[in-house]
Structure 1
Amino acid sequence: MKPIKLLPLLALSIVVASCATDGLDAKKAELEALKSQLSEINTQIKALEEEITKEDPEFAAANKKSLLITTAAAKKGEFTHYVEVTGSVLSKKNVSISSETVGRILDVPAIEGMRVSKGQVLATIDAESIQRNIEELENNLSLARTVFEKQERLWKQKIGTEIQYLEAKNRKEGLEKSLASLKTQLSKAVVKAPFNGTVETVRVRLGELVQPGTPMFQFVGESDLFIEADISESYVGVLSKGDSVEVSFPSINKTMKTKVSAIGSIINPNNRTFKVEVFLPNIPEVKPNMISVLKIQDYKNKESVIVPTHLILADNRGDYLFTVENGIAKKKYIKRGYTFADETEVVEGLTGTETIVDKGFREVGDNFSVNVAKL
């Protein structure tokens, strides 16, 4: 590279100055001479910087112009982590109502989605044969009672044998039990709601023949509700009964706090999850099968260092972010803890008193000169 020739240039400037007059033309000539000098000096400075940079990369970082940035403060305080999953409202009173007698369906007043009260009729089964048997038994029972009463009077008068008395008594009591059994069967011909709830599914049609055990309705009660959710098996041993839960219902814009009431002990091999049951108090607006969002607290530290998650970068060595010290950006390697929402817990590398590069964090480098914008 050619050496910088400053002396001839300075000499020229002295000559121009000594020959100049106070006139405007002389000042212009002097200005042009100085500009010429400055241009040549800048060119030579740039060339020197490029050559030095090739041999010393740190030189470029140290001499780079200050970057305009904004900052955010690392904070120290309580950090809470939640497991966030979607759950469904279920009822412990979710039952399948089946026929308890044989017969043809005469009436089905219940429809799917219908809310009913305890004892309300859901369906009626033809029980004509049972009714006829009842009438026949009532006639036989009337005769048996008459025979028993007469035999009992004779027996008290020591007339007749004990066997005759016992046979009359046994026949009367047998007919009474048979009549009671038929009346019970007759009552089962009218299918009623076992408790307040909703008819989820109607599985029979008018005129259909049913047998004992034939499924007729899927019925869900409105009390004893709970929330069930599937949790990843990676949280086995982390969650436990009694953990705090924040539940939100998007459809009714309602949020509440409750607790985990049960933890499943079996892993589903299909999706590698286990069941978690959450207690749900009686809330009139909440209905079975309603979707809910669960935030289950699984970690809490009152002395955490917390930083915005988006400011954390990574390289082959690990996670890092940039702090500002006396107008210089410093690369700080950290060890992450838990992350939730837009905040991350830092367990190593920061004390919580640092000033962190915010806007401009992707443009700065280690030991870069920075200028903090005043907002």
Structure 2
Amino acid sequence: MKPVIKFLPLLAFSVLVAACATNEGVDAKKAELEKLKSQLSALNTQIKTLEAEIAKEDPEFANANKKSLLITTAAAKKGEFTHYVEVTGSVLSKKNVNISAETAGRILEVPAIEGMRVSKGQILATIDAESIQRNIEEMENNLALARTVFEKQERLWNQKIGTEIQYLEAKNRKEGLEKSLASMKTQLSKTEVRAPFNGTVETVRVRLGELVQPGMTMFQFVGESDLFIEADISESYVGVLSKGDSVEVSFPSINRSLKTKVSAIGSIINPNNRTFKVEVFLPNIPEVKPNMISVLKIQDYKNKESVIVPAHLILADNRGDYLFIVENGIAKKKYVKRGYTFGAETEIVEGLTGVETLVDKGFREVGDNFSVNISQL
């Protein structure tokens, strides 16, 4: 065992020397690599400088020296272009009413609750009718006596007995009590507050036991028929939109769409948000409910002979808007005058005929007179 221990220090020293030699070799290679990179950078700079100088004096050299960029293309097209004003609207009802008490009394029952859908004639609240009922009973007794007196007086009058005044007084009293009784019964019927039409109870403003007076608002009630859509439109569209314009309506909550028309346009600008009201006709659709959100696309422009391009391909500089077209493998900068934009498409009113091939992918990398290769993928 001792001979082995004797040689261990010598072995460790040899490993250390070999490791140092390896590190020195790697460092030397790294230094050499950096030196070559610096030389390459200097050469590239000299090459670019010479190319630029030669290109100024020799345009053919410049065109031949340009590298072709790989691009994809899109076609300009000619056809119908339609622009829409897109806004959010809310479904409202022309039957949005406040239901008020028509007789005085204390609330005995309020079966209606907020958000409740009810049918025409359904009871919303009941008012105490005890005093009215007593008055009716008393009036019925008086009317029974008045009828008896009238019938006897009429028989006497037919027999030429008694005076005409007595007959007319008996008749007048009977008819007066009949009208008063009918009026009292009408008042009794009003102690039951009923829904005037099918709809939804929006707000309940009375409580059980509360004393109400004629004219006091008890419920806000919205009918389910005669619905329309109302939206706020920017004042910049004053004079652009008109009654009868086509409207595309979509209801995101029920995934339903339809086409309709503008039925009315407001004549007052809201000073708070600089908008005016637009009303859109809504046909009877069972799924559509008051206060439902809708998205309106109101057509305000249409041209059947438009040149249309993808909107994202249009760039701009100090001179104006432009895009790149491809002619014989060369990208050409083409200045244009744009019209309306809707969605992903823009109408071009000047600069294109509609048969051009446009640079699509790669349009930000190309320049005027750049050589390009069109990808076949």
TM-score range for the pair, normalised by the shorter chain length: 0.7 to 0.9
| Secondary structure at 1:353 match in 2 | coil
1:38-77 superposed matches below 5 A: 46-52=48-54, 62=63, 63-77=65-79
Q: Distance in 1 between matches of 2:179 and 2:305?
A: 75
- The residue that corresponds to 2:301 in the other structure is 299
Write the deviation string for residues 41-69 of structure 1: whole angstroms up to 9, x where unpaired: 9997654324456x679899744322222
The 3-state SS of whatever aligns with 1:260 is: strand
Deviation at 1:265, TM superposition (A): 2.0
What 5-or-longer segments of structure 1 have no aligned partner? 1-40
* RMSD, aligned α-carbons: 2.2
Deviates most, 105-114 or 220-229: 220-229
Q: How does 1:260-279 map to 2 (within 5 A)?
A: 260-279=262-281
Q: Decide which of 128, 139, 142 is 1:140's aligned counterpart.
A: 142
What does residue 115 of structure 1 align with? 117
Structure 1 CA distance, aligned partners of 2:210 and 2:58?
89
Distance 2:345 2:110 in 1: 57
Question: SS of the counterpart of 1:337?
Answer: strand
**Corresponding residue for residue 353 of structure 1:** 355
Deviations 1:13-55 (A, max 9, x none): xxxxxxxxxxxxxxxxxxxxxxxxxxxx9997654324456x6
Q: 1:87 matched to which residue of 2?
A: 89
* Alpha-carbon shift at residue 147 of structure 1 (Å): 1.6
- Superposed counterparts of 1:156-171, under 5 Å: 156-171=158-173
Counterpart CA distance in 2 for 1:128 and 1:61 is 106
How far apart, CA to CA, are the structure 2 residues paired with 1:230 and 1:95?
Answer: 22
Counterpart of 1:338 (choices 334, 337, 340) is 340
- Residue correspondences, number: 335
Instruction: Report the AA paired with residue 267 of structure 1.
Output: I
Structure 2 SS opposite 1:352: coil
1:156 positional shift? 2.1
- Alignment partner, residue 28 of structure 2: none
What is the match of residue 104 of structure 2? 102
User: For the Cα contact (< 8 Å) 1:61–1:367, is it kept in 2?
Assistant: no
CA distance in 1, matches of 2:135, 2:62: 104
Q: Deviations over 1:270-296 (max 9, x none)?
A: 212121121212211111111111111
Matching residue of 2:200: 198
Between the two proteins, what is the percent identity of the paired residues?
A: 88
Deviations 1:90-130, CA, capped at 9 Å, x for gaps: 11111111100000000011111111111111110001111
Candidates 185, 189, 192, aligned match of 2:191: 189
- Are the equivalent residues in 2 in contact too, given 1:52–1:59 (CA < 8 A)? no
What are the Cα deviations for residues 69-97 of structure 1, in whole angstroms up to 9, with x where unaligned?
21111111111111111111111111111
Q: Distance in 1 between matches of 2:45 and 2:140?
A: 124
Distance 1:262 1:367 in 2: 54
TM-score (norm 1): 0.84
Alignment match of 1:150 (pick from 135, 148, 152):
152
C-alpha distance in structure 2 between counterparts of 1:178 and 1:245, whole Å: 55
Provide the C-alpha distance between the structure 1 equivalents of 2:129 and 2:249, rounded to a whole number of angstroms. Answer: 49
Among candidates 359, 362, 367, match of residue 365 of structure 1: 367
Pair 1:232-2:211 in alignment: no
Distance 1:327 1:163, change over 3 A: same
Cα pair distance change 1:46/1:80, threshold 3 Å: closer
Q: Report the residue type matching 2:138 in the other structure.
A: E
Q: Secondary structure at the match of 2:370?
A: coil
Equivalent pair of 1:72/1:356 in contact (CA under 8 Å): yes
SS in 2 for 1:332: strand
Amino acid in the other structure paired with 2:324: F
- Note the alpha carbon deviations across 1:337-370, whole angstroms, 9 max, x for none: 1100000000100000111111111122222222
Query: Structure 1 residues 47, 286: CA separation in 2 closer, same or farther (over 3 Å shift)?
Result: closer
**Which sits farther off after the overlay, 166-175 or 62-71?**
62-71
